Amino acid sequence: SALTQPASVSGSPGQSITISCTGTSSDVGGYNHVSWYQQHPGKAPKFVIYDVNNRPSGVSDRFSASKSGNTASLTISGLQAEDEADYYCSSYTSSNALLFGGGTKVTVL
């Protein structure tokens, strides 16, 4: 089954928010292969974090991430209107597969 994410998170412009992604020792906890994706409505996802806490070129440094045990987290600091989107985590698994989280809708108030 999917990794567990909160259905929604909201924050005011300028604030920081954190999205959690909980799995098991067979996925999130067992490997440093957690990624985060941002998806705006009607668009394909875009990766913003790979390998737990690495930001690809071109992604704002307002995006940061970490992992503790079986839970990974994505933090967006200095929240902006353009950050309003759905966010998904994914992890490599012990079955040599990839598993996504259920997704979190981020609302900028």
Partner 1 sequence: QVQLVQSGAEVKKPGASVKVSCKASGYTFIDYYLHWVRQAPGQGLEWMGRINPNSGDINYAQSFRGRVTMTRDTSISTAYMELSRLTSDDTAVYYCAKKFCSKAVCHDTFDFWGQGTMVTVSS
User: Which residues of this protein are in contact with partner 1, per CB under 8 A?
Assistant: 2, 33, 35, 37, 39, 44-47, 50-51, 56, 88, 90-92, 95-103
State the Cα–Cα distance between residues 31 and 84, nearest whole angstrom. 29
Nearest distance in Å: CB 41, partner 1: 11
Nearest distance in Å: CB 88, partner 1: 5
Do the bridges between strand 104-108 and strand 8-11 make them parallel or antiparallel, or are there none, so unpaired?
Answer: parallel
Q: Which is nearer to partner 1, 15 or 25 (CB)?
A: 25
Q: Which is nearer to partner 1, 70 or 88 (CB)?
A: 88
Nearest distance in Å: CB 75, partner 1: 18
State the Cα–Cα distance between residues 104 and 28, nearest whole angstrom. 17
Name the token pair of 33: 């292969």
Q: What is the DSSP string of 57-86?
A: TTS-TTEEEEEETTEEEEEE-S--GGG-EE
Q: Which is nearer to partner 1, 25 or 98 (CB)?
A: 98
